[in-house]
Amino acid sequence: DSVVLFGGKNGVVSRLDGDNGALKWEFKDDSGDVPFQVSSSPTEIYYISLQSALLKGHRIKVTALDPVSGRQSHHYTLNSEGDLSAPESVLFAGANTAAPLIAWADKSMKTLKVNIIGSKQLSTLNIENTSGEEIRSIKVHASNKLNSLPHFLVHYDTDSSSWAEVYHVDLKSGSVSKAYQLPRVQERSVFATSNKDANVYFTRITESEISAVSSASHGILGRWPLKAPLTERALHAVSEVVPRGDAVAVRAAAALESGDWQLIRNGQVEWTRYEALAGAMAASWAEADDQEELAHQLEFEGHESLYGAYVHRVKRHINDLQHLPDWLRALPKRIATSFLADEISNLDSFGVSKPVIVATANGRVFALDSGNQGSVSWSVKAADSWNVKTIVTQPGSATVYVADGSSVTLNVTSGDIMRRTPSTTPVRSVAIINDAPPVTLGIKEDGTPAEQMEGPGFLVTLSGDGRVLGWGAKNNKMPVWEFIPPRGERVLSATSRPSHDPVASIGKVLGNRSVLYKYLTPNLALVTAVGERTASFYLLDGVSGKVLHSSTQQGVHTSQPIASAMSENWFAYSFWGDVNDPSDAKGYQLVISELYESPIPNDRGPLESASNYSSIHGQGIPEPHVISQSFVIPEPISHMAVTQTRQGITSRQLLCTLPASNAIIGIPRHVLDPRRPVGRDATASEAEEGLFKYHPTFDFDGRWYLTHAREVTGIKTVLSSPTLLESTSLVFAFGGDIFATRATPSQAFDILGKSFSKMQLLLTVVALFAGVVVLRPIVQKKQMKMRWGP
C-alpha cells in the first residue's frame, strides 16, 4: 500500500490500496498547521507538520497514526521556532524506516539538531567548521531500507571546500553519536547512499575523483580518479556499491549543474545525457571553416581579371603547400578508408557531417556532430538564462542573438567565447540579411528596425499589434508600406522563401512538350491571419506590399495548429476545418498552391512584352495564376519546412511535424501537385508528367516517415541544409527532443550503392595489368616469328 500526504489549507494523510488504489482510510488535520512530510516506522505512521510560533518561526509537530485504522495515537511538539524561519529550513525528515529522523540546523550554522521520530528526545550536535568560511549548505543522507543500519551522513559545503560526518543512532537509548569524519577537500562534492543487505555505503563524487566508504568504518573502500574530470559541478547523485571481497565496484549517476546526467562506473564516464538540449530555443547549421574560406577565395578570383585571378591562384597554391606534409601522412589512411569503409557512411568530404550549433534556455550553447549520431563536440555556459532569438553562423564562428539586444560570438571548432556585446535595445526578433558576411538587424516590439539598413534592399517585419511593415534602405523611421488585416482578424505568422532556394528550371514541361512558366520572385511573403472562425492567407509582394493573392477558409478551429511553408513557386498550409455546409469536409486539411505567370502554356503573361519592370510601383506588378488543391489529412501538422539541396535540381519534400504521432514526415512534392485531374483518370500526356487522379483524402505513406519508429516530442522547428551532394539534404529538428537525419527526395543518384565494390574493381584492374605484363612478351615473340617465318 501507499501512504500519501495531500497539501493545501489542511493536511490529509491517506492510505491507498496497492492493488486498485482504493482509499482505506484518511486522517484530516484541521489545526491549520502547514503539512510538511509523512514518514513511517515498522509500527507507526508519522504525520509531520509545522506550527506557526507566537512571535516568529515554526515549531515541528509530529502526529503518530495507527497504520491499520489511521487513528491518531499521540503527538508531540519540538521547540524549533528559534531555528526554523521557513519550511525550507528543515534539512531532513523521514526516509529511514529503521530510524526515521528529523534534522535541522540553527541559523548560525554552528549546531545540528536531530530528533528520532517517535521520541521527544532531541540531540544537539556541534558543527566543527575549521575552514574559516561560511557554510553555504548542509545536507543529510540516510538509507531508506527497513533492515539497514541506523546510520546517516551530514554533508557540509562552503564556497571552496566540503567535508562530511557520519553518525550512528542507538535505537535503545535514542542517542546520536558521531562515528567518524570524512576528510575536507578543496572542491565541491556530492554524496549518494546505497545498501547491500543491512550495510550502508556512502559514495562521494568530487570534481576529480569518486570514492566509496562504509557507514560502519572510516576506511576508504575504493577510490578512482575521474579519467574525464567533471566540467560541471554535480548537484545530486544515486549510486550502487557492489562488494567484491576486500574491494568494491561503484556505479553512480550524477545530475550536473547544467541539468545533464552522467553515468560513472569506477571513475570512467560511461555516457552523458544532455538534458539541457530539451530546452533548445534556437539552432543553426555551421559550415566548416576551410570549405567556406575556399569558396570565398574562388568567389574573389571570379571577380578579378584573368591575370589577377591567375596570380591570386598561384599564391593560394603556394600557401597551401604548408599543409602538404600533413596531407601525405594522412594519405595511406584515406586510401585504406576509401576501400574498406562503407560507401554510404564515408561521405564526410561531401559536407554531410556539418556541426549544428544549439542554444538552450539555461544559457548553454552546444555543438552537435551530425555525422557522429549527434555527439556533443563541446558545450559552453554563456549565460545563466536568456531568451535567444536566433543564431547566425559564419566561417569559424557562431553568434547567438538575445532578446535584450546582446549577443555572444563563439568559435565553432572549440566553443571558446570570442566576443560579447552588451545589451542595448530589447528586440522582438532578429532579421538576417544574407550578404557576405550576413548582416543582422534587431526588430523592436512595434516592428521598427533598431538600426538603419545600409545596403540596398528591403525588409518586411511584424509588429506586436499585428501589422506587417515594409522598410526601405537607410530609413527606419517610416515604413514604405503597411499591411493591416481586415477588421476581426489578427496576424498569426508570416513566412517567406528560404534564403537558399535555387531554382533549376523556370518552367514546368507538360506532357505535350509545352511549358507553364513559373511565377518566380524572391520578394514573396505569405501572411497568415485568423479570425474567430476563419483563417486567411495573404500572398504579399515584399517590395510594394501589394496583395497578389488571398484565400479565406471558413469554419477554422483557430486553437488548432496552423502551419505554412513556401518554396520556389508554391506554398502550402494546413489547418483544422469544421463543417459549415453539409458538402464541406471536416478534419485536418492540407492546401497546396502553385503560382504561374499565365494559365496558358508557352505564355509569359503581361511581362512577356514589357520593356521594363519595377516592384516599387505596385500597379505594374502582375498577379500570378494560382492553382490550388486541398486534401484531408489524418492528423494535425504543427510545423512545416522544405528540403534544400545545393542546385535545386533534386525534387523537394515538404517536411511536416506531426505532434499527434510524435513524428516527422517528408511528403514528396510531386504527390501534392495541384494539377492532378479531378473526377477522372490521368490522360497519357498527364501520366507522362507524373500526374495521377486526385483523391480528397490523403494518407501518410509509411515510407515518408523520416523518424521511422522513433518518437520525437515537442518539436518546434525543423531546419534543412544542402550538402555538396545534390541528392542529399540534411534535416535537423529541435524542441523537446532533437533529431537529425539525411533526406534524399530523389534517391541517392550521385552516390555509389552498397553493391559497388571498390576492392573488386581494384582487383580487376590489377588482374588486367598482370595479364598485359604476362602476355605482352608472348605476343611480341609470336609477331616476330610471323615476320621472319616462311
d(CA 527, CA 571): 11
- So what's the pLDDT on residue 579? 66
**Confidence band for 292, pLDDT divided at 50, 70 and 90:** low
Across 34-50, average pLDDT: 83
Q: Counting beta carbons within 10 angstroms of the beta carbon of residue 322, is it exposed (0 to 12), middle (13 to 18) or buried (19 or more)?
A: exposed
Q: Is residue 291 part of a domain?
A: yes
Same domain, 457 and 535: no
Q: What is the pLDDT of residues 548-568, one digit of tens each?
A: 999 999 889 999 999 999 999
| Contact of 773 with 765, CB cutoff 8 Å | no
**Confidence band for 347, pLDDT divided at 50, 70 and 90:** low
Q: Is residue 111 part of a domain?
A: no
Same domain, 401 and 466: no
Asked whether residue 607 carries a pLDDT value surpassing 80, the answer given is no
- Rg of the chain on CA atoms, in Å: 36
Q: What is the pLDDT of residues 162-207, one digit of tens each?
A: 889 898 988 778 788 889 989 888 888 899 998 888 888 999 998 8
| Contact of 727 with 644, CB cutoff 8 Å | no
Higher-pLDDT residue of 288, 27: 27
Q: Which of 23-37, 341-355, 401-415 has the highest mean pLDDT?
A: 401-415
Query: Going by C-beta distance under 8 Å and a sequence separation of 6 or more, which residues neighbour residue 686?
Result: 511, 675, 677
Lowest mean pLDDT of 180-184, 216-220, 506-510, 748-752, name the range.
Answer: 748-752
Identify the helix (H) or strand (E) that includes residue 338: helix 324-340
**Confidence band for 340, pLDDT divided at 50, 70 and 90:** low
Q: Is residue 475 part of a domain?
A: yes
d(CA 442, CA 404): 10
- So what's the pLDDT on residue 562? 95
End residue of a domain, out of 424, 456, 473: 424
Q: Which of 165-179, 579-593, 637-651 has the highest mean pLDDT?
A: 637-651
Same domain, 351 and 301: yes
Asked whether residue 344 carries a pLDDT value surpassing 50, the answer given is no
Q: Is residue 7 part of a domain?
A: no
Across 264-274, average pLDDT: 89
- So what's the pLDDT on residue 91? 81
| Contact of 411 with 396, CB cutoff 8 Å | yes
Q: Name the phi and psi angles at 306, rounded to 5.
A: -60, -45
Asked whether residue 470 carries a pLDDT value surpassing 80, the answer given is yes
d(CA 249, CA 223): 10
Higher-pLDDT residue of 381, 611: 381
End-to-end CA distance of the chain: 113
Across 687-703, average pLDDT: 92
Lowest mean pLDDT of 368-372, 471-475, 625-629, name the range.
Answer: 471-475
**Confidence band for 518, pLDDT divided at 50, 70 and 90:** very high
Q: What percent of the chain has pLDDT over 70?
A: 93
Across 362-370, average pLDDT: 91
Can you say how many angstroms the Cα of residue 550 is from the centroid of all Cα atoms in its chain?
A: 35
Give strand ranges (E) for 542-684: 547-554, 563-567, 570-577, 587-596, 625-633, 639-642, 653-658, 663-668
Same domain, 670 and 550: yes
Asked whether residue 721 carries a pLDDT value surpassing 60, the answer given is yes
Same domain, 610 and 627: yes
**Confidence band for 625, pLDDT divided at 50, 70 and 90:** very high
d(CA 140, CA 338): 58
- So what's the pLDDT on residue 351? 73
DSSP notation for 86-139: SGGGEEEEE--SSS-EEEEE-TTSSEEEEEETTS--EEEEE----SSS---EEE
**Confidence band for 638, pLDDT divided at 50, 70 and 90:** very high
417 strand-pairing partners: 410
Lowest mean pLDDT of 190-199, 284-293, 687-696, name the range.
Answer: 284-293
Q: Is residue 218 part of a domain?
A: no
Same domain, 772 and 736: no
DSSP notation for 359-413: EETTSEEEEEETTTTTEEEEEEE--SS--EEEEEEETTEEEEEETTS-EEEEETT
Asked whether residue 268 carries a pLDDT value surpassing 60, the answer given is yes
Across 348-375, average pLDDT: 87
Q: Is residue 612 part of a domain?
A: yes
What would the grid cell of residue 286 be?
555551421
Of 702, 590, 594, residue with least CA distance to 640: 590
Any idea what the Cα angle at residue 466 is, between residues 463 and 470, rounded to 5°? 55
Asked whether residue 770 carries a pLDDT value surpassing 90, the answer given is yes
Across 137-144, average pLDDT: 86
End residue of a domain, out of 375, 390, 424: 424
Q: How many residues does the chain have?
A: 790
| Contact of 417 with 408, CB cutoff 8 Å | yes
Higher-pLDDT residue of 387, 53: 387
- Residue 784 identity: M
What would the grid cell of residue 211 be?
570514492
End residue of a domain, out of 454, 469, 484: 484
Q: Counting beta carbons within 10 angstroms of the beta carbon of residue 492, is it exposed (0 to 12), middle (13 to 18) or buried (19 or more)?
A: middle
**Confidence band for 609, pLDDT divided at 50, 70 and 90:** low
Same domain, 684 and 611: yes
Same domain, 502 and 651: yes
Q: What percent of the chain has pLDDT over 90?
A: 35
Same domain, 316 and 371: yes
Number of domains observed in the structure of the chain: 4
- So what's the pLDDT on residue 98? 65
**Confidence band for 659, pLDDT divided at 50, 70 and 90:** very high
- So what's the pLDDT on residue 343? 47
Lowest mean pLDDT of 195-204, 434-443, 592-601, 769-778, name the range.
Answer: 434-443
Across 376-394, average pLDDT: 91
Asked whether residue 435 carries a pLDDT value surpassing 70, the answer given is no
Q: Is residue 410 part of a domain?
A: yes
Query: What CATH number has the domain bearing residue 327?
Result: 2.40.10.480
**Confidence band for 245, pLDDT divided at 50, 70 and 90:** confident
Any idea what the Cα angle at residue 343 is, between residues 340 and 348, rounded to 5°? 100
Asked whether residue 335 carries a pLDDT value surpassing 80, the answer given is no
Lowest mean pLDDT of 112-121, 363-372, 639-648, 690-699, name the range.
Answer: 112-121
Same domain, 536 and 663: yes
| Contact of 235 with 257, CB cutoff 8 Å | yes
Structural domain including 765 reads: 757-790
Q: Is residue 749 part of a domain?
A: yes
Same domain, 441 and 414: no
- So what's the pLDDT on residue 614? 60
Asked whether residue 711 carries a pLDDT value surpassing 80, the answer given is yes
Query: Going by C-beta distance under 8 Å and a sequence separation of 6 or more, which residues neighbour residue 363?
Result: 381, 382, 383, 384, 385, 386
Same domain, 397 and 527: no
Mean pLDDT, the chain, integer:
86
Of 100, 102, 46, residue with least CA distance to 74: 46
**pTM higher than 0.85 for the full model?**
no
